[in-house]
């Protein structure tokens, strides 16, 4: 079972506009039922409506998971489901709207009254905090607490694993040299918390996606006093202080997380959350097949990792209509693709890359991911269908049955001077669906004489240390790599920036542009799109990026990722969050 | 009692019963231990059955390509049309058994299961035999050295054995295997599957030699004190002669027995490492790896779990039967 | 006797030292062989060079190998200081360090996971010892009977089956088809003894099946050999009832080797029954070690390996002491 490694994206320097649109999204008016459709249980009902809408309070939720959060410390967590789960009991400056449909991809004010106000030069952003916001012990939350939380993510030698420093360093004045509050007592001057009800950021460059940054867990307030001594620093994750409707009662890493009501939380200060259940119990470390069995039997409510059920449960659910109506098949927002490294010969020749594109058997690749329902729809382009600029097209036709166009592949091989094929390597993780994808690709390429050897590496090393280090890729000749990508925030910029922008290539490591694709025209289009406020013009520009990226032949997308999720019929207010591609945990309650 | 020069000295001298039967046998025709053992073995039908299965398995492994071209399709050729795309399991019952695929196909890819089992036999048998060879070689050499020369040599080797025996074997095997699986530089000129297999042979063979080393050492210690060794020495025989001509033949029986008992253990060991993902890497077929794959689908495609499991079971059982039979045949006092 | 024990205990300490050095060498050097920077595994997905360097410092991986080993040893004997935030945290002796991945204390992890492995191992051990030995004895006494043949046949099958296959078949039948033992997962004994036992039934049976097969065969062989000895013949000739002959003379000789092996098997199993734990998803020492190896979480690997080696060595020691008690010649070798 693969864990959803988070849609990641290092936000590079950018110019405007995306944030402006988000800023237009308006209010933080109460309740997630504002304007959203309510539905009764049916297959895929939760994709665009709220199933079992209810305001009934009380009860205990029984969630299950097979793994553990990467960390409970908001500055150190990176998994998608962890970010989603934190919204239950932690408040951030802004948050993704708790509503189904496309609105769920918009941000709204959580601790802040609304989105940030940008100065005319775009280098200062101000947020006003709401009244009545408190920590779990009743202490009021001030801007200083948010400032401290952001500062501690700079202490990478203690607070490791999260994206905070990577995002904030290039964006905040003085960020590059700040080493965190443990070493640098003076603090980061560019975060101004002099007014306890206002927080002001001084940016080193225009960055209109800043609102999205503030919707991430890194802006969860942390009381400085709680971050000291043996319960602070790297150990804060075992003693987190809550700002939302619930607080941590028990945390046994890998086993149990129990949340109970935070009596200091005031509903009047939080129009986004309903806080219906009295208690939320998450049992971790369970066998995936066991979890499915429990959910189907009704003894577990929801599997929170959002990666979908196992093959056995897929069969059970799809074959039985009474079970099928309790399931949904959302798009997770990921695109699964093969990265074709253009610096590894003979794939430095675009025709050889095209040969790979044509020879790939997309049906087999889709099958390796789990088939049309558990895996996703066959994709012919990089942009996922969940984003506004998506317009369907297929660059490299894989034949009428999508198993590959061998003739075109052979022609391409001739054109690149390798009529009998060539040898290369396919890199993949060693567990989950990755190896299956690699094997499917290997078998498909063999048909035209391309001999690819499969190389497997543990997931913990694979991205940042194996295919994410360009020199390693060259040295080991990793011509092909199994990859997947989902945006950190549901925007085209969030999706494309780290993986296709040539300026985002990190030679030293942690690189996400595995193929080292660098097309100046694409880079320019990205800049233009960021500067455009007109939505249709912007979509058009991103569409051009999508086309150019595919023409370069460095990217072989094969599946627009989906998962088959199951919801216990006793749950209320269940819907899919567009921001996370899985059920939104914020307002789920217990029915009768 | 002294043995005639054209018959090898045997361990029968320890047992009066056997000595008597040897005497009476001599009266008819001189029979070596080997001949007697073979006679006994022939009578043990079950052990013979095991032996036959083993021979068949070896032939299957050796002639894998021929068998597969006759009875199946190549092991890494997928057949997407035989797979139900929604559920990613073989269409048809019993994992898609048909005349073209006599054991069905595997889930997701639809590769011929018979072919994969047959090629998997290669990996299992090759790794197990070679690893056993390594174990027996090192164990015998070091065991004899320790037992015969004694003194500090014995002390050193015994300490090394103690250390190696103290290691949690599986954990170490996993650790080393995990590194090998990741490494992509050639080690000793090997890469890919051959590197994996070589590494497996090394890991399995290297950590287990103390088991046989101890036994050989013990036997050597006992034999060293026997009269025929004294006699040979007094005749001026060199150490080399004594070791190779006197001790080694007497050690053959226990060595042989333990070899046949270690082979099935090694087969299971390789399967276990492959099951844990640190054995041979896909797409090379391995029975253990197939079982690992089967974990997520065994409730909807039980055939894919049963077939490699039964293959492992039959293989290991045959070796155990043969090993038991050999032990009974070679041990003069057993089986009456 | 006392001097023997002391000598052996010293040997244990030396052994543990050597095991620790070799473990350190293998698991710390292995990533170097693969040209991998272990710190990268723990610094998050998007991790630039500076972040890796910082994480490297946090985990102590920037120091040379011998320094890391020295610090580790120091931690075990004297305790160690860690910088985990604003203050310095002191980890008292014996300090096994902190997990690279979760920052949890390794000592805590071992203490927490040991009951899982111990429950599984000891429970299975009791079952296999009792069942294996009794079946073996009965088979030996009723040699050639239907019982003997069937029992030995089943035993042969048990020895030839991989434990994870048995486990999968057992789960398939009892957990999914018949639904008698569903949702098998570990429940602590102190939480709910009944559930604890119920959930451990399948792992116990699978493990026990494997080992009791071996023990049944071994016991039978030993019993047969012993019952053929001269002194048994003498005892019978003296006119002792058969039951007494078996009980007083047969058992002791036949069972002594069993005890030896039992100690070694149990010790080895306590080191982590990786396969059984993985299939049943019981997060014991074996499971955690396996997971730690995958992510190269070195303190955890080191901690669990040392524990496992400790159990094996102690089992060896106890067996040797028992032997020395019984056979005085051993004390002086």
SS (H, E, C) A429-493: ECCCCHHHHHHHHHHHHHCCCCEEEEEEECHHHHHHHHCCCHHHHHHHCCCEEEEEECCCCCCHH
Instruction: Measure in Å the smallest separation between the Cα of A269 and chain C Cα atoms.
Output: 32
Q: Which CATH number applies to B43-330?
A: 1.10.3720.10
Model pLDDT, residue A30: 35
| Contact at CB, B80 and A372, closer than 8 angstroms | no
Set of chain B residues whose Cβ sits within 8 Å of the Cβ of A314: 86-87
Residues within 8 A of B (CB atoms), A 312-331 only: 312, 314-315, 318
**Closest chain A CA to residue B80:** A364
Query: Does the pLDDT at position A461 exceed 90?
Result: no
Evaluate whether A345 touches A389 at the Cβ level (below 8 Å). Answer: no
What's the mean pLDDT in C75-99?
83
Quick one: CA torsion of B320, B325, B329, B331, rounded to 10 degrees?
Answer: 40
CB-based contact, A403 to chain B, within 8 Å: yes
Query: Does the pLDDT at position A539 exceed 80?
Result: yes
**Closest chain A CA to residue C283:** A285
How far apart (Å, rounded) are the C-alpha atoms in residues B261 and C70?
42
| Contact at CB, A464 and C47, closer than 8 angstroms | yes
Query: Does the pLDDT at position A242 exceed 90?
Result: yes
Q: Which chains touch C (3 or more CB pairs under 8 A)?
A: A, B
Model pLDDT, residue A72: 95
How far apart (Å, rounded) are the C-alpha atoms in residues C103 and A332?
31
SS3 (DSSP) at B251: helix
**Closest chain B CA to residue A431:** B277
- Domain extents in chain B: 43-330
Nearest to A254 by CA among B273, C116, C96: C116
Token pair for residue A577? Answer: 């969050």
Model pLDDT, residue B38: 80
Set of chain C residues whose Cβ sits within 8 Å of the Cβ of B176: 26, 30
Structural domains present in chain A = 31-286+564-590 (3.40.190.10), 332-562 (3.10.105.10)
| Contact at CB, A230 and C87, closer than 8 angstroms | yes
* Residue in C41, C42, C48 nearest the CB of A508: C48
Set of chain B residues whose Cβ sits within 8 Å of the Cβ of A446: 76
Instruction: Measure in Å the smallest separation between the Cα of C152 and chain A Cα atoms.
Output: 35
Residues within 8 A of C (CB atoms), A 203-232 only: 227-230, 232
φ, ψ of residue C44 to 5 degrees: the values are 95, 170
Region of C284 (left: φ > 0; alpha: ψ -120 to 50; beta: rest) is beta
SS3 (DSSP) at A351: helix
Model pLDDT, residue C176: 84
DSSP state of A45: G
CB-based contact, A79 to chain C, within 8 Å: no
DSSP state of C20: H
Evaluate whether C137 touches C219 at the Cβ level (below 8 Å). Answer: yes
| C30-68 per-position pLDDT tens digit | 777 666 778 888 877 777 778 888 888 888 888 888 888
Query: Which helix (H) or strand (E) is A336 found in, with range?
Result: strand A331-340
Model pLDDT, residue B4: 37
CB-based contact, A293 to chain C, within 8 Å: yes
| Contact at CB, B163 and C22, closer than 8 angstroms | yes
Where would I find the H helices in C39-188?
49-59, 65-77, 106-141, 146-160, 163-170
Question: Mutate which of B44, B166, B289 to test chain C, going by most C C-beta atoms within 10 A?
Answer: B166
pLDDT band of B232, cuts 50, 70, 90 = confident
Nearest to A582 by CA among A482, A483, A490, A462: A490
Q: CB atoms < 10 A from the CB of A446, how many?
A: 16
**Closest chain A CA to residue C89:** A230
Question: If 0-12 CB within 10 Å is exposed, 13-18 middle and 19+ buried, where does residue A580 land?
Answer: buried
φ, ψ of residue A212 to 5 degrees: the values are -65, -40
Cα distance from N-terminal residue to C-terminal residue, chain C: 13
Query: Does the pLDDT at position B5 exceed 70?
Result: no
Q: What is the DSSP string of B289-332?
A: HHHHHHTTTTTT-THHHHHHHHHHHHHHHHHHHHHHHHHHHH-T
| Contact at CB, A439 and B192, closer than 8 angstroms | no
| Contact at CB, A182 and C86, closer than 8 angstroms | yes
| Contact at CB, C281 and A163, closer than 8 angstroms | no
Question: Mutate which of A439, A471, A473 to test chain B, going by most B C-beta atoms within 10 A?
Answer: A439
What's the mean pLDDT in C274-291?
91
Instruction: Measure in Å the smallest separation between the Cα of A165 and chain C Cα atoms.
Output: 9
Query: Does the pLDDT at position B191 exceed 70?
Result: no
CB-based contact, A372 to chain B, within 8 Å: yes
Nearest to A224 by CA among A324, A295, A147, A314: A147
How far apart (Å, rounded) are the C-alpha atoms in residues A301 and A312?
18
Token pair for residue A422? Answer: 């060539």
| A483-536 per-position pLDDT tens digit | 999 988 888 988 998 899 999 898 888 899 999 999 999 999 998 887 777 889
Model pLDDT, residue B30: 60
Evaluate whether A137 touches A264 at the Cβ level (below 8 Å). Answer: yes
More confident residue, C93 or B131: B131
Nearest to A7 by CA among A88, A73, A94, A96: A96
Set of chain B residues whose Cβ sits within 8 Å of the Cβ of C172: 298-299, 302, 305
Q: Which chains touch A (3 or more CB pairs under 8 A)?
A: B, C
| Contact at CB, C275 and B276, closer than 8 angstroms | yes
| Contact at CB, C157 and B172, closer than 8 angstroms | no
| A465-480 per-position pLDDT tens digit | 889 989 989 988 999 9
Model pLDDT, residue B12: 37
Evaluate whether A586 touches A50 at the Cβ level (below 8 Å). Answer: no
Set of chain C residues whose Cβ sits within 8 Å of the Cβ of B185: 35
Q: What is chain B's mean pLDDT, rounded?
A: 81
More confident residue, A27 or C267: C267
Instruction: Calculate the CA A329 to chain-centre distance.
Output: 17
CB-based contact, A471 to chain B, within 8 Å: no
| Contact at CB, A371 and B300, closer than 8 angstroms | no
Residues within 8 A of A (CB atoms), C 178-197 only: 182-185
Set of chain B residues whose Cβ sits within 8 Å of the Cβ of C304: 171
Model pLDDT, residue A19: 34
Instruction: Measure in Å the smallest separation between the Cα of A569 and chain B Cα atoms.
Output: 24
How far apart (Å, rounded) are the C-alpha atoms in residues C290 and B242?
47
Instruction: Measure in Å the smallest separation between the Cα of C132 and chain A Cα atoms.
Output: 31
Instruction: Measure in Å the smallest separation between the Cα of A171 and chain B Cα atoms.
Output: 37
| A397-453 per-position pLDDT tens digit | 999 999 999 999 999 999 999 999 999 999 999 888 999 999 999 999 999 999 999
Instruction: Measure in Å the smallest separation between the Cα of B182 and chain C Cα atoms.
Output: 7
Instruction: Measure in Å the smallest separation between the Cα of B97 and chain A Cα atoms.
Output: 20
Quick one: CA torsion of B70, B76, B82, B88, rounded to 10 degrees?
Answer: 150
Evaluate whether B278 touches B174 at the Cβ level (below 8 Å). Answer: yes
What's the mean pLDDT in B270-279?
88
Query: Does the pLDDT at position C262 exceed 70?
Result: yes
Tally of helices (H runs) and strands (E runs) in chain A:
18, 25
pLDDT band of A11, cuts 50, 70, 90 = very low
Evaluate whether C9 touches C317 at the Cβ level (below 8 Å). Answer: yes
Set of chain B residues whose Cβ sits within 8 Å of the Cβ of A308: none
CB-based contact, A380 to chain C, within 8 Å: no
| Contact at CB, B87 and A315, closer than 8 angstroms | yes
Q: What is chain C's mean pLDDT, rounded?
A: 84
Instruction: Measure in Å the smallest separation between the Cα of A437 and chain C Cα atoms.
Output: 21
Is the previous residue joined to A321 through a cis bond, with omega within 30 degrees of 0? Answer: no
pLDDT band of B186, cuts 50, 70, 90 = low
Query: Does the pLDDT at position A177 exceed 60?
Result: yes
CB-based contact, C172 to chain A, within 8 Å: no
HEC string of A195-263 equals CCCEEEEEECCCCCCHHHHCCCHHHCCCCHHHHCHHHCHHHHHHCCCCCCCEEEEEEECCCEEEEEECC
| Contact at CB, A403 and B80, closer than 8 angstroms | yes
Model pLDDT, residue A457: 84
Instruction: Measure in Å the smallest separation between the Cα of A460 and chain C Cα atoms.
Output: 5
| Contact at CB, B175 and C156, closer than 8 angstroms | no
**How many Cβ pairs within 8 Å bridge chains A and B?**
83
Query: Does the pLDDT at position B91 exceed 80?
Result: yes
Cα distance from N-terminal residue to C-terminal residue, chain A: 32
* Residue in A235, A254, A458 nearest the CB of C84: A235
Model pLDDT, residue B17: 52
**Prediction pTM value:** 0.87
* Residue in B108, B297, B299 nearest the CB of A367: B108
* Residue in B175, B185, B321 nearest the CB of C293: B175
In what order do the strands lie in the sheet containing A117-118?
Answer: A117-118, A124-128, A198-202, A191-192
Please, what is the angle between helix C298-326 and helix B169-182, to 10°? 150
């Amino acid at each position: 079972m693969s864990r959803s490694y988070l849609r990641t994206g290092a936000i590079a320097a950018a110019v405007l506009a995306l944030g402006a649109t988000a800023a237009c999204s308006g209010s933080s008016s109460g309740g997630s039922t504002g304007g959203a459709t309510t539905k009764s249980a049916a297959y895929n009902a939760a994709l665009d409506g709220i199933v079992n809408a209810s305001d009934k309070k009380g009860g205990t939720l029984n969630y299950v998971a097979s793994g553990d959060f990467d960390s409970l410390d908001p500055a150190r967590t990176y998994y998608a489901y962890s970010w989603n789960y934190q919204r239950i009991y932690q408040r951030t400056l802004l948050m993704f709207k708790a509503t189904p449909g496309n609105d769920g991809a918009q941000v709204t004010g959580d601790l802040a009254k609304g989105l940030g106000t940008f100065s005319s030069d775009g280098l200062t952003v101000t947020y006003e905090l709401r009244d009545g916001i408190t920590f779990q012990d009743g202490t009021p939350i001030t801007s200083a607490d948010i400032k401290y939380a952001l500062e501690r993510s700079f202490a990478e030698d203690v607070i490791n694993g999260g994206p905070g420093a990577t995002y904030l360093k290039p964006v905040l004045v003085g960020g590059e040299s700040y080493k965190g509050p443990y070493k640098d007592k003076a603090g980061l001057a560019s975060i101004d918390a002099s007014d306890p009800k206002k927080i002001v950021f001084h940016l080193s460059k225009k960055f209109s996606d800043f609102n999205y940054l503030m919707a991430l867990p890194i802006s969860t307030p942390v009381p400085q006093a709680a971050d000291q001594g043996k319960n602070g620093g790297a150990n804060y994750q075992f003693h987190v202080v809550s700002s939302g409707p619930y607080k941590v009662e028990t945390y046994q890493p890998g086993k149990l997380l129990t949340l109970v009501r935070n009596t200091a939380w005031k509903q009047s200060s939080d129009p986004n959350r309903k806080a219906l259940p009295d208690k939320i119990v998450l049992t971790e470390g369970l066998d995936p097949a066991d979890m499915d069995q429990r959910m189907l039997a009704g003894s577990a409510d929801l599997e929170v990792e959002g990666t979908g059920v196992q093959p056995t449960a897929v069969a059970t659910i799809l074959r039985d209509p009474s079970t099928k109506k309790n399931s949904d098949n959302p798009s997770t927002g990921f695109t699964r693709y093969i990265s074709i490294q253009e610096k590894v010969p003979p794939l430095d020749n675009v025709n050889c890359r095209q040969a790979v594109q044509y020879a790939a058997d997309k049906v087999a690749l889709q099958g390796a991911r789990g088939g049309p329902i558990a895996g996703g729809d066959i994709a012919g382009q990089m942009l996922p269908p969940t984003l506004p600029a998506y317009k369907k097209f297929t660059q490299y036709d894989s034949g009428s049955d999508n198993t590959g166009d061998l003739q075109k592949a052979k022609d391409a091989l001739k054109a690149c001077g390798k009529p009998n094929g060539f040898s290369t390597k396919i890199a993949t993780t060693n567990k989950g669906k990755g190896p299956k994808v690699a094997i499917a690709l290997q078998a498909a390429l063999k048909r035209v004489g391309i001999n690819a050897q499969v190389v497997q590496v543990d997931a913990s090393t694979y991205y940042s240390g194996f295919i994410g280090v360009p020199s390693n890729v060259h040295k080991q000749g990793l011509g092909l790599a199994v990859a997947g990508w989902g945006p950190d925030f549901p925007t085209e910029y969030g999706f494309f920036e780290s993986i296709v922008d040539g300026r985002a290539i990190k030679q030293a490591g942690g690189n996400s542009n595995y193929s080292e694709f660098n097309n100046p025209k694409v880079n320019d289009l990205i800049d233009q799109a960021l500067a455009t406020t007109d939505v249709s013009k912007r979509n058009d520009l991103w569409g051009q990026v999508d086309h150019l990226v595919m023409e370069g032949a460095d990217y072989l997308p094969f599946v627009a990722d989906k998962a088959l999720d199951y919801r216990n019929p006793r749950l209320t207010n269940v819907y899919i969050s567009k921001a996370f591609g899985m059920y939104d945990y914020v307002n789920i309650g217990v029915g009768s | 009692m002294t043995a005639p020069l054209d018959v090898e000295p045997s361990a029968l001298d320890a047992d009066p019963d056997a000595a008597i039967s040897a005497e009476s046998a001599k009266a008819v025709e001189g029979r070596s231990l080997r001949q007697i053992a073979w006679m006994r073995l022939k009578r043990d039908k079950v052990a013979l059955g095991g032996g036959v299965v083993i021979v068949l398995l070896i032939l299957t492994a050796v002639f894998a390509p021929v068998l597969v071209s006759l009875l199946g399709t190549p092991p890494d050729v997928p057949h997407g049309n035989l797979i139900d795309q929604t559920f990613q399991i073989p269409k048809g019952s019993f994992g898609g058994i048909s005349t073209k695929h006599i054991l069905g196909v595997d889930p997701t890819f639809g590769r011929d299961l018979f072919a994969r089992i047959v090629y998997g036999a290669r990996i299992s048998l090759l790794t197990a035999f070679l690893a056993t060879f390594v174990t027996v070689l090192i164990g015998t050499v070091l065991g004899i050295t320790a037992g015969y020369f004694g003194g500090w040599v014995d002390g050193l080797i015994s300490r090394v054995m103690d250390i190696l025996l103290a290691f949690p074997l599986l954990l170490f095997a996993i650790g080393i295997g995990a590194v090998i699986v990741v490494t992509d530089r050639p080690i000793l000129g090997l890469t890919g599957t051959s590197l994996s297999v070589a590494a497996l042979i090394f890991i399995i063979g290297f950590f287990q030699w103390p088991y046989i080393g101890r036994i050989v050492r013990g036997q050597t210690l006992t034999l060293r004190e026997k009269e025929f060794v004294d006699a040979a020495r007094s005749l001026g025989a060199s150490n080399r002669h004594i070791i190779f001509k006197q001790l080694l033949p007497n050690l053959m029986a226990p060595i042989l027995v333990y070899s046949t008992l270690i082979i099935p253990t090694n087969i299971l060991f390789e399967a276990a490492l492959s099951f844990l993902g640190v054995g041979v890497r896909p797409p090379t077929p391995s029975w253990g790896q197939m079982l690992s794959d089967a974990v997520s689908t065994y409730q909807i495609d039980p055939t894919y779990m049963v077939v490699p499991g039964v293959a492992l079971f039959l293989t290991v059982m045959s070796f155990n039967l043969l090993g038991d039979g050999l032990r009974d045949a070679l041990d003069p006092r057993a089986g009456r | 006797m006392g001097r023997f024990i002391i000598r052996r205990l010293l040997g244990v300490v030396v052994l543990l030292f050597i095991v620790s050095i070799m473990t350190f060498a293998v698991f710390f050097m292995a990533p170097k062989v693969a040209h991998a920077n272990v710190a990268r595994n723990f610094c998050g997905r998007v991790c630039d060079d500076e972040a890796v360097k910082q994480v490297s410092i946090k985990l102590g991986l920037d120091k040379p190998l011998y320094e890391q080993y020295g610090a580790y040893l120091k931690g075990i004997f004297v305790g160690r200081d860690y910088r985990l935030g604003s203050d310095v945290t002191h980890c008292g002796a014996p300090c096994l360090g902190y997990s690279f991945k979760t920052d949890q204390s390794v000592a805590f992890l071992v203490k927490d996971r040991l009951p899982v492995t111990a429950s599984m191992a000891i429970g299975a051990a009791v079952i296999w010892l009792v069942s294996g030995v009794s079946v073996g004895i009965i088979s030996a006494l009723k040699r050639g009977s239907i019982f003997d043949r069937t029992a030995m046949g089943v035993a042969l099958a048990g020895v030839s089956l991989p434990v994870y296959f048995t486990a999968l078949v057992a789960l398939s039948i009892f957990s999914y088809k018949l639904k008698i033992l569903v949702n098998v997962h570990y429940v602590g004994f102190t939480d709910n003894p009944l559930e604890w036992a119920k959930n451990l039934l399948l792992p116990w049976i699978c493990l026990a099946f494997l080992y009791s097969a071996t023990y049944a065969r071994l016991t039978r062989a030993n019993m047969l050999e012993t019952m053929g000895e001269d002194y048994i013949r003498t005892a019978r000739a003296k006119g002792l009832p058969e039951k007494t002959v078996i009980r007083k003379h047969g058992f002791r000789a036949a069972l002594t080797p069993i005890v030896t092996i039992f100690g070694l098997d149990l010790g080895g199993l306590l080191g982590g029954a990786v396969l059984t734990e993985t299939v049943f998803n019981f997060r014991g020492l074996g499971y955690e070690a396996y997971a730690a190896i995958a992510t190269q979480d070195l303190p955890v690997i080191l901690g669990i390996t040392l524990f496992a080696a400790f159990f094996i060595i102690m089992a060896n020691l106890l067996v040797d002491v028992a032997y020395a008690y019984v056979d005085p010649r051993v004390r002086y070798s």
